[in-house]
Structure formats: C-alpha cells, structure tokens
Structure 1
Amino acid sequence: MEHIQKLLEKLSNAHGISGSENNIRNIMEEEIRPYVDDIRTDKNGNLIATKKGSGPTIMLAAHMDEIGLMVKYIDDNGFIRFVKVGGWFDQTLYNQRVVIDTENGPIKGVIGAKPPHVMSDEDKKKPIKAEDMFIDVGAKDKEDAENLGVQVGSTISLDRDFEPLANGFMTGKAFDNRAGVAVTIEIMKQLSEMDVDIKPTIYAVGTVQEEVGLKGARTSAFGLNPDAAIAIDTTIPGDHPGIEKKDSALEIGEGCVITVMDAGGRGLIADKNIVKWLKETGNENDIPYQMDVSDGGTTDATAIHITREGIPSSTISIATRYIHSPVELLSIDDMKSAADLVTKAILNTEKYL
C-alpha cells in the first residue's frame, strides 16, 4: 500500500483544475508509462495509456481535474475577483489560502471578504457568497498584480498539502479524483507484474473536465469505443455526523464501492452484467466491497455509457468524506480494495465480456 499512498500524495499536492490538467497528466504519464505498451494524449487532453491484448477492450476512466477558481477581474487596488470552476459550496472558500498559476510561476494568495467586525447583525446571519469574496496576493495596485503575472484567465487552486491521519486515513485536497488516478496507475502496475496471459486490451484513461460536464469521458470513449468501461472515482459515505445512513449506507474502511445507480437514474444506471462481473469477482477473491444506489452525484460513466450505440459501464468508487473541500478524507485500504477488485476482474472476463 506504500506505492498507492505515495501516488496519492504526489497527485493531490499537484494543481490541475478543469481545463488545466497538464500537471496531473504529466505525473500520470510518468508513473504509468512502465506498465503499458502505448501512451498518447488526444486532442481534448485526455491521457490514453494502452496495454494490448487479444481479447475484449476495457476502458478504465479516472478524471484528472479538480474543482478550482479562475481570475475574472483585477480591481484598481490589486484585489482579484474570481469565478468558480466546478461545484463549490461557497462557505468552504472563505479565508482559504490559494495558489494562482501565473505566467511567472505560481504565487500565493488568500481569499478574503468583509470582516464580521464591521458587518451588520443582519449580514452576520447570511452566508458569504463567492461573488462577495476576493483574493489578496499582497499587491499594491492593479499594475503590481499584473507584474506578478496575474491576468484574467489565470487558474487558481486551494493551497493544502496531503497529510496522513490515524488508522490509514489520509486527508488533502482533490482526492476527487486523484484517488481514482492513483488507483488506475496501481491497477496497471499490478497487471504488469503478473506472470499470466492478460487477454483484454486495457485503455487506462485520465480524463479531462469531468467536474464541468464529463467532457473528456465523452470524447475519449467515442474515440476508443470499448466493449466495457469502469469509471474510477470517489463517492459520499454516511458514517459521520450530519448525514444519515438512509442517505448513504457507505462507510470508510469497508471496501471499495460498486455503483448500481447514481443521481436517481438521471446519471448512470449501471449495466447489470458489469455489476455482476464486479460483485462475483469480489466474492471469489475475498475482496471487500460495498454496493451503492444514490440520489445525487455522478461520474464519467454517465457520459461513457451513452456514447455511440452504448457502452456497458459501471463505477468503482472510494468512499471519501468532505468531497469538494480542501480537507477530503479517505482510507488507503479502500483504494487498495478498488485496485485489487478491478485487477482481478480484468483477469476474469471470460464469462462476462
């Protein structure tokens, strides 16, 4: 598990919001190259690593992007206004430290807003909206901020480092979905180290712009047209205060998650044969897993399964607390079970694909 933890740390600490995944793509390419036969980047920026076989084709999709921000405007005093890229809960952003990717290199800043000391009693009762926040990089004025390299369109990530916690738990930013990228690399590593004939051709794809519309999954799946697909992502557990088991029965540390349906069917209704394949593989190999039917949230599998004439798909997820925040939290054990389950499934295609 040391390998997968190091991968997660390296990927999580790097920055790459939707549409600016270069840093993550470079890491993924470097780490996965020893385990595949061919690697390329398509026109949309998806990384496609191929391990060739003579049997059915299987696409593994893990999105490389994280939610972030983008510079919209620099005022005369050098304060930066921004827009959200992806699904932020505004209050999560207030008073965070950020990294702005500029033409002169990364610079640090902080997100500020009107301080509570000068708010009216009515204002204090209202949540602060992102549109009322700004970023302070210490600039004297607009010209100074521009000389630092800040410009309209500069991308912004939260500035948080990966940290291990107790009992194999880890915390950091962008585990959604650097965890999926790390698991995908681990799968290809495990397959490359096996002294067996691996019949399927595997496309390990790092997709772009999942957080803003599943865009990379749609285009890469169209080009590859695989026989089956598994998205590898994160999902919400119901094992902490503020959420009830009726909303999510998943628990961290109880194994990876097989999706039956997400977003109340508006996203993915997984192919029954793919779900059976994954469940039976887990049972036969004593790999812990959990089953999930959810009302909210979806993954790359939603776009993949309706591409071309349809691609049988499901999702393997890692239960992750506090998704879309700077302090996401998961268990390395669950990442390992996800990698083991998909690896064993790839060796177990004869009855299913």
Structure 2
Amino acid sequence: MAKLDEMNTMLKDLTDAKGIPGNEKEPREVMEKYITPYADKVYMDNLGSLIAEKTGNADGPKIMVAGHLDEVGFMVTRIDKNGFIYFQTVGGWWSQVMLAQRVTIMSKKGDVTGVIGSKPPHVLSAEARKKPVEIKDMFIDIGASSQEEAKEFGVRPGDSIVPYFEFTQLKNEKMLLAKAWDNRIGCAIAIEVLKQLKGEEHPNTVYGVGTIQEEVGLRGAKTSTHAIKPDIGFAVDVGIAGDTPGISDKDADSELGKGPQIILYDASMVSHKGVREFVVDTAEENNIPFQYASMAGGGTDSGSIHLTANGVPALSITVASRYIHTHAAILHRDDFENAVKLIVETIKKLDNDKVKEIVMA
C-alpha cells in the first residue's frame, strides 16, 4: 500500500478507531488529538459528545459543525453454554451484509476476534436456503469451547462488538475504502474546517463537534446543541451514492467525485430554506461542485439540532458513499475536501447581519 499522506493518516486513524453508540471513547480520543491544535478550548457534554470551540468574533453568531463519532455495530447480550456469542444490533443493519464477517469484541481484557455465523446451508432445506438468514438466528464464534472459556477471554454481556476492516486506499487513490465512514468523515470535516480557519478572520465562533449515539436516535446532537446554543447548525455526514449497478436516478442520483450533497429533505427534517440557499449561493460563487440529494428514510444530526431550544436553522451537508452500514464503504476524497471548502467559505460570511437575514428567509 502506498504511504499515506497526512490527511489520509488522519482518516485512517478515525475510521480504524472502534466506537459503537454508547462507547465512543476511541474515536473521541482520536478526534480530540487532531482537533485540539486548532481550537481555543475543547470539552465534552455530560453524555460524551466532544465540542471544540474556536472564536473569531466573540460577539458574532455561534456556528455548529457536527459529525457523529459512533458507527453501527453490535452488543453482546448472552453467551451460551458452548461459548457462542449472541448479540443485539446497535444501529441499522441489513442481514445480507453480515454473515461470515469478522468482528472485534471490546472485552474488559482487550480485543477478542470473532466471526458472525449461522446454520450452514448444507443442513437447510431447499426452501430455507432461498431465504435470507434472520439476524436473530446469527451468532458470533470466538473460538471458545464453553461459556466459562468465553468469560475467561473477558467477554461479558454489554460488551461492544465492532466490524473489523482496515482503511485502504484503492488503485484510484482518491477512492477510499474503510469501515465507519458513517460518520468519521463528518468528524474529519469538523477537524479540517477548524484547521483551515486557523489564522483566518471569521465573524463568529465555530464549534467543531463529534456527537455520540446518532445511529440510535440523534441523541448526542440534542445534548451538545443544548450546551452550545448555536445560531446556525450544520450536520456533516454520509449520503447515498447512486452510481453503482441497479440504482436508477429516481432512487439516488449522486455520484462519487461530483461534490458534496446538499440535503433538501430527509426523514428527520426539512432543510432550512435560508441556510440552504445561502450555502448554494456560496458554492456557486466559489465554483465548488455540489449535488442535491434527499432521503425518504433515515436522518442526520440536523434532525435534533434544528429542534433544540427555540429552534436552530440547520442544514445537512453530506459526502456520497457506497455501501454504508456495512463492514466497508467507499467515498471520494475530492467530495470530502470540497465539503470542507464549502463550509469554510460559508462560515467566513456568517456575521450577525447575515444570520438575521437567513433566519427571516
């Protein structure tokens, strides 16, 4: 594998970190390491979301840029007498992407490797082989011979189970393959926005946030937004790519490498008209490519951000990704870099007058 540059090293550190909802400590520590040099202060809310604050003008508006730290995974619920692990999904999973995949159980004695198994097709009836295996019929094999041995390995109910996959730069070096792009890419955007604002004048205070528990109900966005009380909020996340076989334009029409997605609508919110139009105008003025997208199902942290206190004008800006909520997804580095550029150029113009104008749009 080619030697990773500084940016891809950060992306590798973020995606390789293990953190399902309720146990985001590893990715939070990685994000804290990378964002601290560019922030005036870094702190946490009481649930564990990371908040990095950078002041341009203390009398100006507060601008929140939030990616979520958690990734979809599983949790140990019981260990049977033969040492097999049963689990609860944490976040949304499609059963067809799970079988025979390697996982890591984060036990009190350290990481334990396992593989997701089920009854083999050789012993199923012809009719049963035609049907997908249900998640409730899956288990994890860690090579233990008994419940006692599994416990000796350190495994116990409540332990986090994380998909195993290492960050990989593909032959087309702008195409990046990793677990947890949903949503370590959002955390990387928040880091890079603060980095690019270092030494720049901006008429506001910017908050780069790594929220927790997005995948189970946009929960960390609620508490961190309450802590910040922003005037404008941006959720940065992944979106659906429509450039793989079998997907029609009416399902999804975004393509990797064609720019960040401006989310018009999702199941958690209708994007704020004033914020959306201002961001689109900024993109066009600066020749930054972008794509429109909407998602009938699913939501982003904007769903919680915009309903906090007496309301926060908010918009989701996402990076099109293939194969999200699996062990390995693909995105395009140009889309990441253009998302950062778009948010930075937007922030530079968000003074008190502009925010008042946006709110009234």
CA-CA distance at 1:5 after TM superposition? 2.1
Q: Distance in 2 between matches of 1:234 and 1:156?
A: 22
2:298 match: secondary structure: coil
Contact 1:278 1:345 in 2 (8 A): yes
User: Which residue identity is paired with 2:308?
Assistant: T
CA-CA distance at 1:224 after TM superposition? 1.3
The one-character-per-residue Cα deviations of 1:75-120 (angstroms, maximum 9, x if unpaired) are 1110111110000001211111110000001110111110111111
Q: Distance in 2 between matches of 1:301 and 1:321?
A: 22
Q: Distance in 2 between matches of 1:165 and 1:35?
A: 30
Which residue in the other structure is 1:274 paired with?
A: 275
Q: Which range moves more in the overlay, 40-49 or 238-247?
A: 238-247
Q: Distance in 1 between matches of 2:331 and 2:249?
A: 18
Q: Which range moves more in the overlay, 49-58 or 139-148?
A: 49-58
1:352 match: secondary structure: helix
CA-CA distance at 1:262 after TM superposition? 1.4
1:189 aligned residue (180, 190, 195):
195
CA-CA distance at 1:352 after TM superposition? 2.8
1:255-294 superposed matches below 5 A: 255-263=259-267, 267-294=268-295
Change (3 A) 1:190 1:349: same
Q: Distance in 1 between matches of 2:246 and 2:213?
A: 30
**2:19 matches 1:21:** no
Change (3 A) 1:276 1:4: farther
CA-CA distance at 1:3 after TM superposition? 3.5
1:236 aligned residue (220, 231, 240):
240
Q: Distance in 1 between matches of 2:265 and 2:75?
A: 33
Which residue in the other structure is 2:209 paired with?
A: 205
CA-CA distance at 1:229 after TM superposition? 0.3
Gap runs ≥5 in structure 1: none
Q: Distance in 2 between matches of 1:30 and 1:185?
A: 10
The one-character-per-residue Cα deviations of 1:14-52 (angstroms, maximum 9, x if unpaired) are 110001000000001110000000000110101010001
TM-score of the two chains, using structure 2 as the length reference: 0.94
1:44 aligned residue (36, 42, 47):
47
User: Which residue identity is paired with 2:189?
Assistant: V
Which residue in the other structure is 2:12 paired with?
A: 9
Which residue in the other structure is 2:341 paired with?
A: 340
Contact 2:77 2:158 in 1 (8 A): yes
Which residue in the other structure is 1:123 paired with?
A: 128
Contact 1:161 1:172 in 2 (8 A): yes
1:17 match: secondary structure: coil
Q: Distance in 2 between matches of 1:85 and 1:28?
A: 22
Gap runs ≥5 in structure 2: 356-361
Which residue in the other structure is 1:34 paired with?
A: 37
Which residue in the other structure is 1:352 paired with?
A: 354
1:129-140 superposed matches below 5 A: 129-140=134-145
2:79 aligned residue (68, 74, 82):
74
Which residue in the other structure is 2:328 paired with?
A: 327
Which residue in the other structure is 2:358 paired with?
A: none
User: Which residue identity is paired with 1:239?
Assistant: D
TM-score of the two chains, using structure 1 as the length reference: 0.96
Contact 2:45 2:227 in 1 (8 A): no
2:88 aligned residue (64, 77, 83):
83
The one-character-per-residue Cα deviations of 1:223-245 (angstroms, maximum 9, x if unpaired) are 21110000000000211112111
The one-character-per-residue Cα deviations of 1:179-215 (angstroms, maximum 9, x if unpaired) are 11111111111111x4x32221011110000000000
Which residue in the other structure is 1:64 paired with?
A: 69
User: Which residue identity is paired with 1:233?
Assistant: D
CA-CA distance at 1:6 after TM superposition? 2.0
Q: Distance in 2 between matches of 1:309 and 1:164?
A: 44
Contact 1:39 1:47 in 2 (8 A): yes
User: Which residue identity is paired with 1:188?
Assistant: L
1:277 match: secondary structure: helix
1:246 match: secondary structure: coil
1:88 match: secondary structure: coil
User: Which residue identity is paired with 1:332?
Assistant: R
Q: Distance in 2 between matches of 1:180 and 1:304?
A: 15
Contact 1:274 1:352 in 2 (8 A): no
Change (3 A) 1:335 1:2: farther
Q: Distance in 2 between matches of 1:276 and 1:137?
A: 52
2:32 match: secondary structure: helix
**2:165 matches 1:160:** yes
Q: Distance in 1 between matches of 2:6 and 2:269?
A: 31
The one-character-per-residue Cα deviations of 1:140-185 (angstroms, maximum 9, x if unpaired) are 1000000000001111001111111133101111100011111111
User: Which residue identity is paired with 1:217?
Assistant: A
Q: Which range moves more in the overlay, 341-350 or 26-35?
A: 341-350
